[in-house]
Amino acid sequence: MKRYSIYLLVLNVIWFASCDDEFMDRYPQTSISPEEFFKTEEDLRLYVNGLLSLPGMFEYQADQSSDNMATTGAIEIKSMMTGSPSSQNITGGWNWARLRNINYFLENSPNADASPEAIQHYEGLARYYRAVFYFGMVKRYSDVPWYDRLLNPADEELFKGRDSRETVVNGIVEDLEFAAQHVREDVPSGTPGNWAVKTFFARMALYEGTFRKYHDELGLQGSAEAFLTRARDLAREIMDSGNFSLHQTGNPESDYQALFTSQELGGNSEVILYNPYDLNKDRSSNINYTVFGTYEQSPSRDLVQTYLMRDGSRFTDQPGYETLPYVSEFQNRDPRLSQTLVYPGWVRQPEPAEFIPILNRNFTGYFQQKGYNNTTENVALGSLDFPVYRYAEVLLTYAEAAAELGSLTQADLDMSVNLLRQRAGMPDLQLTEANAQPDPFLAEKYPQVSGPMAGVMLEIRRERRVEFALEGYRHDDLMRWSAGKLLERIPKGMYFPGLGKYDMTGDGVEDIILIDKDADIPGDPEKETNSLGRMLIYYRAGTVDDNVTVYLENGSQGGTLVTETTERTFVEPKYYYRPIPLQQVTLNPNLEQLFGWE
């Protein structure tokens, strides 16, 4: 009982520390005697379990920070591009409580009466968590102070300046190398094991390799190849292990979607690490109201246009693709499109009829169904697991790293990208063909991509965007590819050629009617009905300056749905990073701002 009480004290200290924004001025050891707690392997396990922090269901909202989504929310990057950002109003992210708790464990864990193997396993987990923490700090700030030991309040190092990106990333690599060597494969469900560590290691190496390659302001291009090589080799090690494979049952119309609507991802061959949810255990995963509906976010038309046709040809090569209506956009497309977004003819439970997309001001008209559980059963709603690391990521890491290194072969594509395409029922990507005819739609987005592998690199970026759409990967991808300028483009919505009636379910029967901005929407008895006897849904259409229910690009003359009109400016290279909050610089003048931040 005494040891259980000490464990609760550990967790309470960790919790209170995580709520504390002060910089390393409180220490767990002031409340917990390491001589009392760190005695056995069980103590190590309890403490490390208290450090567990996995991405969860709200990752499905993270794409609001990318060109995959329009949003009415006060998202940081959008606010930066439309406002006057500075260290006075960008104040989040500079929190070191978690690092303090990790370093406290690493300092005291060697004293436990446990086998060297057990101590190294838990040390490896803690160093993995430290690597994850610092990876997030590097992505946000680039250069940050590196602390790999527990500090006391009088320690002068508390007030040192930033360490270089190279120093910090080298520390991350050392931590992950240790973790990859010592963390066990056999671990409890929902906790990171050896292969999860290596998957994250590959992710980090790909990010850093491409970031250094495409960001001239760092002056680190010469070291990019080493990171890309590490990413490729780690991914290949995971692939060669034979421990994982893509989830598929031979049904390309549903296999992909099943990964995001599962109540049990344990044992799924594709899932390397997952976050388990169970409403019966007070861990609810129900975010249906945010991923589906008219709450802040809606998928962009640019994302819709990225998906290929079912035969592998480019949607954007079709004449007039820019003005295709909603129903036509979903015809004969990559099946993942209709497993990610709501498609014409989709039925929302418990409604008996096809769902008619709701058109609202500032929204695109498209609806997300990835991560949405189309059921009314409460336990099923609240018990969906979240896939943290998928084998699909390993395959695409391998392909992208090999392409960036210039070593990619058709055999490499066949063991990576083409496995994903085959799962979706899509034709294989052909190396020679892709490089001979790069897609101009993608080439315009990524002008930095060049060389003999340019065409296939663009296709791998397409595959990555499609495979991970709305899972929260896209913002990081744009940042590492130095493609922040894409965020200046205001997301667009569905296209309507003008006022009139439109079929939104694909059955050939009109469901909605757009009327002039000055017309009145009639009461129900006077509303027109369609051939199925259902009342049409009325919208007054106009521009953002009109008192209407739907914003169209050209008002009554039609165009795409307008989500916002405030001009965006992405300042390069400044906006690839964030300032240290002014309060922290005031407390520690050795912390200097970088890249023009004040």
What are 559-572's pLDDT values in tens digits? 999 999 999 999 99
User: 459 lies in a domain?
Assistant: no
For 129-140, what is each residue's pLDDT tens digit?
999 999 999 999
Residue 148: pLDDT over 70: yes
User: 515 lies in a domain?
Assistant: yes
Read off the pLDDT band of 19 (50, 70, 90).
very low
Question: Could you tell me what percentage of the chain is helix, strand and coil, using 3-state DSSP and rounding each to the nearest 5?
Answer: 45, 10, 45
User: 509 lies in a domain?
Assistant: yes
User: 534 lies in a domain?
Assistant: yes
For residues 181-208, average pLDDT: 98
Domain residues for 516? 498-557
Spatial contact of 174 and 250, defined as CB atoms under 8 Å apart: no
Residue 98: pLDDT over 60: yes
Read off the pLDDT band of 37 (50, 70, 90).
confident
Nearest Cα to Cα of residue 235 among 391, 398, 388: 398
Residues 6+ apart with CB under 8 A from 390: 259, 270, 271, 272
Residue 26 and residue 24: Cα distance in Å, rounded? 6
Residue 524 and residue 521: Cα distance in Å, rounded? 9
Q: Please name every residue paired with 515 in a beta bridge, in sequence order, or none if there are none.
A: 540
Residue 60 and residue 521: Cα distance in Å, rounded? 36
Residue type, 592: E
User: 536 lies in a domain?
Assistant: yes
Spatial contact of 68 and 469, defined as CB atoms under 8 Å apart: yes
User: 22 lies in a domain?
Assistant: no
- Number of structural domains, the chain? 1
Residue 23: pLDDT over 90: no
User: 527 lies in a domain?
Assistant: yes
Q: Mean pLDDT over all residues of the chain?
A: 94
User: 350 lies in a domain?
Assistant: no
Spatial contact of 457 and 449, defined as CB atoms under 8 Å apart: yes
Residue 99 and residue 26: Cα distance in Å, rounded? 12
DSSP 8-state code for residue 577? S
Query: Minimum mean pLDDT among 31-35, 77-81, 414-418, 483-487: which range?
Result: 31-35
pTM over 0.85: yes
For 573-595, what is each residue's pLDDT tens digit?
999 999 999 999 999 999 999 99
Residue 194 and residue 121: Cα distance in Å, rounded? 10
